């Protein structure tokens, strides 16, 4: 009986709350601790691993959390696999048979490495999360699409480059990105560092969409009218840390802006946690010269407004930093 009551309670809570705070009443520390203590050198017995992660947890959300955190703490990004796949996919871009053949061969290699060495690329993370969730009866989906980062050239991108997950909890779909939550890649050195980012777990769909364009549009979890590909490519560039600091990116909707000298521009955000004005900085890069400024800042509860007046003409990259974290980049062309 108490279990039923809890479920009824949860369903009510779900109906009345917004997406990312749906589970704010649940303390994840138990699930997170289990994820930290469970070890598995190889992944040949996924069901055993999954049960040891979930057997002492009662709710689906906690079970899913333990699986997700375990993956993020244990599965490394494999840079070698990534660049090999990238190279071949580019080469076979116009030859569908060869691409299919490559994909099949690569898939085998990828899963062998995942099960034996716990290293993979995006799709491997998504498969693993889906498979382990299915073992405990939680429905999830792999979402293929375009992942936008500072190193992705959207104009030259002809096909999807990223995979993430949608998960159904208490009859409602949520979004998460286990790959990007796991850590940071250093392409120049060809290395990877585990560095968990909490922001990609059941992210607010509007924020998530700024870096994730799904091939199947319904998995934006947003109204279709607001999710055009053009809108996606023109949106501001957000970094990983934006997800740990922002709840919503309210304004501007575009990355690039044409203004006149002495025009004032406002940026608006909703924050996860309130901050103080002198922790908000803009770095303005003219291409040859970079300066850090303290912009005019207004903070009302968790709403942050940042203002800047452009006094010289030129082309500028404007980077927003909050608490020393790089949040977003915008570009401005200022004319006389």
Partner 1 sequence: MKTLKKVSIRKSTLIFLSFLFALVCTTNLKAQEIQVKGIVKGQTFEKIEILKGANIFLKGTKIGTSSNKKGEFNFPQKLNVGDVLEISYLGFLKKRVTIKKSSSFIKITLQEDDNQMLGALNSGKRHKTKRQKE
Task: Establish if 310 lies at the interface with partner 1 (CB under 8 A).
Answer: no
Task: Establish if 128 lies at the interface with partner 1 (CB under 8 A).
Answer: yes
Task: Establish if 36 lies at the interface with partner 1 (CB under 8 A).
Answer: no
Q: Where are the beta strands (DSSP E) in the chain?
A: 76-77, 119-120, 140-147, 162-169, 172-176, 183-186, 191-194, 212-214, 237-238, 246-251, 256-260, 264-271, 280-285, 290-293, 296-300, 303-309, 314-322, 325-335
Alpha-carbon span 154 to 58, nearest angstrom: 43
Among 19, 20, 74, 85, binds partner 1 (CB under 8 A): 85
| DSSP class of 92 | T
Site for partner 1 in 228-287 (CB under 8 A): 237, 239-241, 285, 287
For the chain, how many helices (H) and strands (E)?
11, 18
Which residues is 330 bridged to in the sheet? 318
For 230, residues 6+ apart whose C-beta sits below 8 A from its C-beta are none
Dihedrals phi, psi of 215, to nearest 5 degrees: -65, -40
Q: Pick the piece of the chain touching partner 1 (CB under 8 A) from 5-13, 18-26, 226-234, 313-321.
A: 313-321
Among 12, 17, 51, 194, binds partner 1 (CB under 8 A): 51
Alpha-carbon span 177 to 164, nearest angstrom: 5
For 169, residues 6+ apart whose C-beta sits below 8 A from its C-beta are 60, 61, 64, 138
Of the two residues 272 and 326, which places its CB atom closer to partner 1 in the complex?
Answer: 326
Q: What is the total residue count of the chain? A: 336
Of the two residues 16 and 96, which places its CB atom closer to partner 1 in the complex?
Answer: 96
Among 48, 172, 254, 313, binds partner 1 (CB under 8 A): 48
Among 163, 203, 220, 227, binds partner 1 (CB under 8 A): 163
Q: Pick the piece of the chain touching partner 1 (CB under 8 A) from 7-15, 57-65, 108-116, 273-281.
A: 108-116
Task: Establish if 196 lies at the interface with partner 1 (CB under 8 A).
Answer: no
Task: Establish if 140 lies at the interface with partner 1 (CB under 8 A).
Answer: no
Among 115, 222, 259, 299, binds partner 1 (CB under 8 A): 115
Count, residues near partner 1 per rule CB under 8 A: 65
Of the two residues 105 and 279, which places its CB atom closer to partner 1 in the complex?
Answer: 105
Task: Establish if 222 lies at the interface with partner 1 (CB under 8 A).
Answer: no
275: part of which helix (H) or strand (E)?
Answer: none
3-state secondary structure 195-208: CCCHHHECCCHHHH
Alpha-carbon span 115 to 227, nearest angstrom: 36
Which spans of this chain sit near partner 1 (rule: CB under 8 A)? 43-48, 51, 77, 79, 81-82, 85-86, 100-101, 103-108, 110-111, 114-115, 121-124, 127-128, 131, 134-136, 142, 144, 147, 149-152, 159-163, 179-180, 184-187, 237, 239-241, 285, 287, 315, 317, 319, 326, 329, 331
């Amino acid at each position: 009986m108490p279990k039923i009551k809890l479920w009824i309670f949860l369903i009510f809570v779900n109906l009345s709350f917004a997406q990312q705070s749906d589970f704010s009443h649940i303390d994840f520390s138990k699930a997170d601790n289990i994820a930290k203590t469970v070890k598995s050198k190889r992944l040949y017995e996924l069901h055993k691993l999954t049960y040891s992660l979930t057997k002492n947890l009662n709710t689906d959300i906690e079970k899913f959390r333990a699986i997700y955190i375990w993956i993020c703490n244990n599965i490394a990004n494999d840079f070698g696999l990534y660049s090999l796949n990238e190279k071949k996919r580019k080469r076979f871009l116009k030859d569908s048979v060869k691409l299919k053949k490559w994909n099949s061969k690569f898939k085998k290699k990828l899963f062998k490495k995942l099960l034996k060495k716990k290293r993979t690329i995006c799709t491997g993370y998504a498969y693993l999360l889906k498979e382990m969730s299915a073992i405990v009866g939680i429905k999830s989906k792999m979402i293929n699409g375009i992942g936008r980062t500072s190193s992705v050239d959207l104009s030259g991108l002809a096909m999807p480059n990223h995979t993430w997950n949608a998960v159904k909890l208490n009859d409602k779909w949520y979004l998460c990105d286990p790959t990007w939550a796991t850590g940071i890649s250093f392409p120049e050195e060809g290395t990877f560092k585990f560095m968990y980012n909490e922001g990609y777990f059941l992210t607010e769909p509007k924020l998530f969409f700024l870096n994730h364009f799904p091939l199947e549009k319904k998995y934006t979890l947003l109204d279709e009218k607001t999710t055009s590909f053009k809108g996606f490519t023109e949106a501001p560039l957000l970094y990983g840390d934006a997800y740990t600091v922002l709840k919503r990116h309210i304004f501007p909707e575009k990355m690039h802006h044409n203004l006149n000298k002495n025009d004032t521009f406002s940026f608006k955000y909703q924050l996860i946690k309130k901050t103080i004005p002198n922790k908000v900085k803009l770095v303005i890069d003219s291409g040859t010269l970079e300066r850090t400024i303290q912009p005019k800042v207004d903070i009302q509860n968790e709403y942050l407004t940042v203002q800047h007046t452009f006094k010289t003409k030129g082309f500028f990259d404007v980077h927003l930093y909050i608490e020393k974290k790089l949040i977003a980049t915008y570009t401005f062309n200022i004319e006389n």
